[in-house]
Amino acid sequence: MTTIRQIAQQMTTFGKGILAADESIGTMSSRLKNAGVEPTALSRRDYRELLATAPDLAYGVSGIIFCDETLNQTFADGTPFPDACRARGILPGIKVDTGAKPCPGLPGETVTEGLDGLAERLAEYAKTGAAFAKWRAVFTITDNTPSRGSIVTNANALARYAAACQEAGLVPIVEPEVLMAGAHGIGRCTEVTAAVHQSVREQLALLNVDLAGIVLKPNMVTEGDDHPHPATPDEVAAATVDVLRSWPGDLAGVAFLSGGQPPQRATANLAAMQSYDTPWPLTFSFGRALVSPALAAWRGDEERIGDGQAALSAHVAANAAAVRMRGELQSV
């Protein structure tokens, strides 16, 4: 039997990243609408099938994260998504949180929910063929947030989710995301990301989560969207790796979210990270930075499926090339 640790290694294998195609029905529908596509279960299926069947996707992608709707859908030819992905050498994953909801007691802050009935749902997902899961906690930077309460509450939920996944035989992607919204500088993002990670580590340890059987999906450490001076890739890489250094060497791997950065910036930052000698791989688990160009090229037109796939492949190739630089940079 393949162990959790082996799956986590497959997910972060050298030169590959993870494709996040797990937008909720609501988010996916509004993105389709903005691209001029009528949002239906079928158009959402067609779009995810376009992504999963991009030629040679497995060269740069080890796994795809889906939402519940897609995991239970079939390709147009009737093959279930999980089987079709595995046949292409790609591991299927499932987003299992039910979203960030207002957190009682903490006005303006959120807690990610989805723990109720989680063990049962994970058992079903494992039967359906999922190899891994994802849970995203979000933290907003303002002058007085994230509060200690929101950090600890969300870190505890992430740890409960991670422990439940490991018991169900699924690798948890642990995603604490410090959002880019705001005018803060990179120093404040460093401080908040470090505090969040410390709490996540503490909570994972309290529930005996095996770090060699998780993939950490953090934000890159950057300035806020409204800050006037964007940090350079070298500055982002230095700040990000500095925060990550507190994670022990047995962590299976780190796969960054793109967080709304323009695709080229996310790729340049990822490339800059590769010159650091870290005990864990540093790869990508991008959503928007990979799929937005594909959606814009496709726009729901059957005749442009190839264009959509070409756009996805170009961005996957650029990020795979970025992480493959690690071998070259570190062998000199």
Q: Minimum distance from CB of 61 to ligand 13P (Å)? A: 14
With binding defined as CB under 6 A, does residue 20 bind ligand 13P?
yes
Interior/surface letters 294-304, b for 16+ CB within 10 angstroms, e for the rest: bbebbebeeee
H or E element: which one contains 242?
Answer: helix 233-244
Cross-strand pairs, 101: 111
Q: By CB under 6 A, what part of segment 173-192 binds ligand 13P?
A: 175
Q: Both tokens of residue 322?
A: 């970025």
Q: Minimum distance from CB of 295 to ligand 13P (Å)? A: 12
CA distance 295 to 54: 13
Interface size with ligand 13P, residues (CB under 6 A):
10
Q: Minimum distance from CB of 287 to ligand 13P (Å)? A: 3
Count of helices and strands (H, E) across the chain? 12, 10
Q: Is 265 left (phi over 0), alpha (psi -120 to 50) or beta?
A: alpha
* Burial class (CB within 10 angstroms; exposed 0-12, middle 13-18, buried 19+) of 117: exposed
Q: Minimum distance from CB of 193 to ligand 13P (Å)? A: 14
Q: By CB under 6 A, what part of segment 222-261 binds ligand 13P?
A: 257-259
With binding defined as CB under 6 A, does residue 154 bind ligand 13P?
no
Active-site positions read: 175, 217
Q: By CB under 6 A, what part of segment 50-109 binds ligand 13P?
A: none
CA distance 39 to 34: 10
The contact pattern for ligand 13P, residues 266-295, with x = CB under 6 A and - = no contact, is --------------------xxxx------
With binding defined as CB under 6 A, does residue 139 bind ligand 13P?
no
Say how many C-beta atoms besides its own lie within 10 A of residue 177's C-beta.
20
Q: Which is nearer to ligand 13P, 11 or 257 (CB)?
A: 257
Let me know: does 21 contact 49? Beta carbons within 8 Å: no
Work out which of 31, 44, 48, 136 binds ligand 13P, going by CB under 6 A. Answer: 136
Q: Which is nearer to ligand 13P, 182 or 259 (CB)?
A: 259
Q: Minimum distance from CB of 271 to ligand 13P (Å)? A: 16
Give the nearest residue (CB) to ligand 13P.
287
Tell me if residue 224 falls in helix, strand or coil: coil
Q: Which residues bind ligand 13P (CB under 6 A)?
A: 20, 136, 175, 257-259, 286-289
